[in-house]
A and B are shown apart, each in its own frame.
Chain A
Amino acid sequence: MADDVGRIRIRVPSSIKAGDVVRVRALVIHPMERIERDAQGKIVQKAYRYINQVTVTYLGRTILTLDTTQSVSENPSFTFAFRATDPGPLTITFLDTTGGKYAGLADIKLA
C-alpha cells in the first residue's frame, strides 16, 4: 500500500539497564523496487525507489550510518546493537533514492 510507505516499527528490549548492549530491530514499509527489464532485456531507465542509506542517532549523536550496497528485500528490517548509557530518544532515519526521508523514534527507557 502506497499510503503505508515509510511506516516504521522499532523493536527494543522491554527492560534495559544502563550500560547494556541493546539489540534493536527496525522495520520500514518500503517497496524497495528492483530494476526492471523490458522484453528485449534492456534495463528500463527510471528512478527506482530504493532505500540506500540508514542513519541512527542516539541522544542527538549519530551512532550508525549504513549504505545498502547489496539487494535488500521489500519492507526491509535492519538490526544493530548499541550501548544504552542514558535514557533518551533513538532515531532511525531511512533515505531513499527518490528523496524520501522516513524517520522513526524509539524512546529508550532505563530500568
Chain B
Amino acid sequence: MARRQARGRALQGLDTTDFGRFRTYAYGDARPEVPVASVTVPDGPPGDAAKGRALFVSRARGPCTGCHLVPGADVWPAGNVGPDLSTVGDRGLTDGYLYQLVFDPRPIFPKTVMPPWGATGVLTPGEVRDVVAYLQTLKGPRPAETDPERDPATRRRPVGFGDNLDATNNPGVLLADQAEAEWSTKGPADRACADCHVGPPELAMKGVAARYPRHVASQGRVMSVEDWLTVHGPETTGAAYLAESEANLRMTVLIKMASNGLPVAIDTTSPEGRAALARGRASFERRVGQRNHACADCHTPDGGANHFLGGRMLADVREGLTRHFPTWRTSQSELWDLRKRFQWCMTPLGANMLAADAVEYAELELYLTSFDVGKPMSVPGIRH
C-alpha cells in the first residue's frame, strides 16, 4: 500500500496537456503531419537576445538545449543530437535563414529531426525572433570548458546497473515470485494456469515468450505476452489481467523469465507477420505529435541514436530495444512493460497516447523486436 501511495504522489503535477490537435499513432488517424511552412521574418521590433536565451534553455518549451550545446554553466544537461551552437553567431548566417530554421527547418533540411517550433505553435513568431537574436550573439572564441560533464561530447557514457537477473540487484525479479504463487492458484473459473500448462512455469512456458509478439489468429491481430494475457486469463482461469495492471505485469515477467537465455524467435515471414511488420515499420517512421517526431528521429544512427538528448543517451534500435522488457526503472522504482515505455515516449513527442493494448503499439513492438531476433532474452531488465 505504501508503494501505491508513493505512486499517487508521483502522479501529482503530471502534465495533462491535450495534444489532440496533433497526429497520433492510431491507424485511424488520417491527419497529415504538420504542414511545411516557408516564412520570412515578420515586421516588428527587433528580437530580444536575453528573452531568446531564456526560451532556449526553458524546459517548458523545448528545451533547445536538449539537442544543442550553448555556453553557460546553467546549461545542463545539454544534448548533442543537433549541432553545437556555441559559436553560431560567427557563421554569418542571415536572420532570415535562422528564423526559417527555428520556425520550420524542413524547407532547408527536408530530412531534419528538428521539430518545426514555429509551425506547430510551440514558439510564437516574436519568440522565434528572440531566439534568433540570441543565436546571433553567440560569437567565439568558445569559452574554455571547465566541466567535462557539461559538454555532451566529453561527458561520460552511462554504465549499466549490474546483473539484471540477480534478485539481490534487480527488485523486478521478485515480482515473478508473486506470480509463481498465482500460477497454481485457482481463479474465479475454478481453474489455474497450472491445470493446463503442466509443470512449473519455467518448464511449461519455456521458449513461449521468445515467439511474442505474434499474430494470434483467434484475435485477428498481433499481440504481445501482455496483450494475450488480457484475453487468455478471462477465458481460462477467469482472472482478469488488465493491461498494465500489476497482475498482468507480474505474470508477464514470470512467463518471459522462462525464456531467458533463449534467442528471440518471432514470426516475420508469414503473410500476417510480414504485413504487421510493415505497419510497425511505418509507425516507427511516422511523424506524430506537436514535435512532428518519428521514433526513427531519436533511435536510428542517422538520427539521434547514441547521442545525448539532455542527460539521456538515446538507444539505437539496431541494438534491439525490447528483449529486456518488462524492465526495472531505477529512476521510477517501478517495473515497466514496453507499452508504458511507449506511452511515456508520447510526452516528448507531444502526442496523445494510445491504450496500452492498442494494436498500433503491438505492431510497433513487433517491428522493434525484429532487431532482437536471435539475441538472448533477459527479463526483467534494469535501466535508468
Contacts and interface: CB of A to CB of B under 8 A. Distances in A.
B90 interface: no
Interface of B: 2, 166-169, 171, 174, 177-178, 181
Contact residue range for chain A?
Answer: 10 to 19
Contact of A9 (B2, B168, B178, B181): B168
6 contacts: A3-B181, A4-B177, A27-B167, A27-B168, A29-B177, A75-B174
A1 B2 CA distance: 14
B349 to A, nearest CB: 35
A7 B177 contact: yes
A83 interface: no
Contacts of B177: 1, 4, 7, 29
Interface of A: 1, 3-4, 7, 9, 11, 25-27, 29, 34, 74-75, 77
**Which of B167, B168, B169, B171 has the most chain A CB atoms inside 10 A of its CB?**
B168
Nearest to B174: A75
Nearest to A73: B171
Nearest to B173: A9
B350 to A, nearest CB: 37
Main secondary structure of the interface of A (DSSP, over half): mixed
A4 B178 contact: yes
A13 to B, nearest CB: 12
B168 A26 contact: yes
A51 to B, nearest CB: 15
B165 to A, nearest CB: 11
A7 B167 CA distance: 11
Contacts of A25: 168-169
B168 to A, nearest CB: 4
Contacts of B174: 29, 75
A46 B219 CA distance: 52
Contacts of B168: 9, 11, 25-27, 77
B2 A34 contact: yes
Nearest to A24: B168
A34 B6 CA distance: 14
A29 B180 CA distance: 15
A29 to B, nearest CB: 7
A9 B178 CA distance: 15
A17 to B, nearest CB: 21
A75 B177 CA distance: 12
Contacts of A7: 177
Contact of A1 (B166, B169, B171, B181): B181
Nearest to B179: A1
Nearest to A3: B181
Contacts of A1: 177-178, 181
A74 B2 CA distance: 10
Nearest 10 CB-CB pairings of A with B: A27-B168, A25-B168, A77-B168, A9-B167, A1-B178, A11-B168, A4-B177, A27-B167, A3-B181, A1-B181
A24 B2 CA distance: 29
A4 B166 CA distance: 17
Given A1-B181, A4-B178, 5 more contacts: A9-B168, A25-B169, A26-B168, A29-B177, A34-B2
A4 B179 CA distance: 11
A105 to B, nearest CB: 16
A77 B167 CA distance: 10
Nearest to A33: B2
B167 A4 contact: no
Contacts of B181: 1, 3-4
Contacts of A3: 181
Nearest to A31: B2
A26 B2 CA distance: 24
A26 B168 CA distance: 7
Contacts of A27: 167-168
B162 to A, nearest CB: 10
A41 to B, nearest CB: 17
A25 B166 CA distance: 10
Contacts of A9: 167-168
Contact of A11 (B2, B166, B171): B166
Contacts of B167: 9, 27
Contacts of A29: 174, 177
Contacts of A4: 177-178, 181
A47 B166 CA distance: 32
A9 to B, nearest CB: 5
A38 B125 CA distance: 56
